[in-house]
Structure 1
Amino acid sequence: MAERQMPNLYSVFDGPCSCPSCWNDETEMPELEFESGNEESLERMMYEAVGNSLSPTIPTRNSELEQLNCVAGPSSLPSSEEPVDVNTESVHADDSLQILEDEQTIREIWVVGHSYIHWAEKKALQMGMENLGCDPSQIKVSWGGIRGMRWRALKPFLGEAADHCPTPFGIIIHLGGNDVGRKSNLGLISWIKEDLRWLSEYYPDTILIFSSIVLRPCWSQGAKWRGRRINNVLQRFLWREKGCMYHNYSLEGEQLDLFRDDGVHLSNEGNCIFVSNLRQMVELCLIKGGM
């Protein structure tokens, strides 16, 4: 079965298409600063800016898979030892072709978010884990990390993908940390719920995984309380909406060595842990999807 070719589409806006399969990995999104409430300016600049690509997968190295105890390896095609009735041979042949086609369908999982996703992709590539431990003949992990991304940019970022790209098997979102303290908790939670409901309507059969907001060392105690509150509220919300939250507990606590000196971005060790967390999110996505 020929490998699926994603459309090379361009949006009506200036610059490349925001379709995930068309994002350009060679250019980076600049760090963005916006005043709270200036959502129209944010969306306009996000469309004008060039995001990272959801890059194609590459074969993973077995040594790295063993190191991270990765799962979701290749599965074998079902077989039957029962004889085929001569009168129904054509029917059995059609069934076999359908089974083969279903088994060879590549299911795509999008991993989107701010700079944590941007740097996790680069670390995963260094580790030979760009596909996060999945068999590339069955699962394609596509990356969309934009540095400086804030929550209100998610909907326009994925909106074009909803119109032009095939439905993903799963979407993993790590976003919201850049909004803590810049918007009231009630307002931010309202935004997030609204957009997650929108995603559920656009992709009713897609598994949605929300990666919890990481509490940053540079935050005040008040900001950390707000981050925890958002995570707790969204966990209950996603459970009701049949989504799922993954808690990044391994990045919490006073573990300053997991962060850079700025107290915002993850260090090399922190990125290794986050890549492992993303691998577990993919595994969770596959389990919820019945694979």
Structure 2
Amino acid sequence: MGVRGIGWHRLRHAIEAEVLLGIPRSIIVVHLGSIDLVNYSVLQIRNIMDREFRYLRAAFPTCLLIWIDILPRRTWPGAANVKAVDNKRRRINRLGRKLVMAAAHGDVLSCDIQQEDGLFRPDGIHLNDVGLEFYLDSLRDTIIKHC
């Protein structure tokens, strides 16, 4: 299941039905929060992430949880200072890695994708076909490593 454009505040709502129905999950991939970087402080995001990772661990205790770093962007819609948002992105990525690796059944995927690599669409936000293939290959390799 994937939800496009989801932020931290909508994560729980997106998966609560599955939790209530007892639908088992063996892997949860967490790649979200880029939208939150413009709208919330690092402290606010940190508090939300901490709460939501505790929830995921309680709801899916044996599930493999994979954190994927938020990718860099050339532009951050709504941001006055792109460099400040990118610094916040790096801090949140470090926090996400730490939270996922703090408990059993966690892994981290840090895709080596930079704006200069030519892997983004002209909007500077979304990956182009080659970038998406690179991204998905990296995710596949991470999942296979645990099977």
Structure 1 pair 196–284 and aligned structure 2 pair: CA distance change class (3 A): farther
Please state if 1:280 is matched with 2:136. Answer: no
Runs of 4+ in structure 1 over 6 Å off: none
Please say if residues 180 and 223 of structure 1, whose CA atoms lie closer than 8 Å, have aligned partners that are also in contact.
yes
SS in 1 for 2:86: helix
Instruction: Please name the residue that 2:120 is paired with.
Output: 259
User: Offset of 1:265 from its aligned partner?
Assistant: 0.8
Instruction: Please name the residue that 1:236 is paired with.
Output: 98
User: Offset of 1:165 from its aligned partner?
Assistant: 4.1
Please state if 1:212 is matched with 2:74. Answer: no
Structure 1: gaps (5+ residues): 1-143, 287-291
Instruction: Please name the residue that 2:79 is paired with.
Output: none
- Structure 1 CA distance for aligned equivalents of residues 114 and 108 of structure 2: 15
Structure 1 pair 152–284 and aligned structure 2 pair: CA distance change class (3 A): farther
- What amino acid is aligned across from residue 246 of structure 1 in structure 2? L
User: Offset of 1:174 from its aligned partner?
Assistant: 1.1
Q: Which structure is larger by alpha-carbon Rg, 1 or 2?
A: 1
Please say if residues 109 and 139 of structure 2, whose CA atoms lie closer than 8 Å, have aligned partners that are also in contact.
no
- Structure 1 CA distance for aligned equivalents of residues 24 and 122 of structure 2: 39
Please say if residues 37 and 88 of structure 2, whose CA atoms lie closer than 8 Å, have aligned partners that are also in contact.
yes
Higher share in helix: 2
- What amino acid is aligned across from residue 198 of structure 1 in structure 2? Y
SS in 1 for 2:143: helix
Please say if residues 53 and 99 of structure 2, whose CA atoms lie closer than 8 Å, have aligned partners that are also in contact.
no
Deviations 1:52-104 (A, max 9, x none): xxxxxxxxxxxxxxxxxxxxxxxxxxxxxxxxxxxxxxxxxxxxxxxxxxxxx
Alignment TM-score, normalising by the size of structure 1: 0.46
- Structure 2 CA distance for aligned equivalents of residues 276 and 244 of structure 1: 16
Please say if residues 7 and 36 of structure 2, whose CA atoms lie closer than 8 Å, have aligned partners that are also in contact.
yes
Instruction: Please name the residue that 1:248 is paired with.
Output: 111
- What amino acid is aligned across from residue 133 of structure 2 in structure 1? C
SS in 2 for 1:172: strand
Deviations 1:145-171 (A, max 9, x none): 323221211101101101114311111
* Alignment size in residue pairs: 141
Alignment TM-score, normalising by the size of structure 2: 0.87
One of 1, 11, 15 as aligned partner of 1:154: 11
Structure 2: gaps (5+ residues): 77-81
Please say if residues 208 and 244 of structure 1, whose CA atoms lie closer than 8 Å, have aligned partners that are also in contact.
yes
- Structure 2 CA distance for aligned equivalents of residues 229 and 201 of structure 1: 25
One of 89, 100, 118 as aligned partner of 1:227: 89
SS in 1 for 2:108: strand
Please say if residues 115 and 124 of structure 2, whose CA atoms lie closer than 8 Å, have aligned partners that are also in contact.
no
Give percent identity, aligned residues only: 26
**1:48-127 to 2 correspondence within 5 Å?**
none
Please say if residues 100 and 108 of structure 2, whose CA atoms lie closer than 8 Å, have aligned partners that are also in contact.
yes
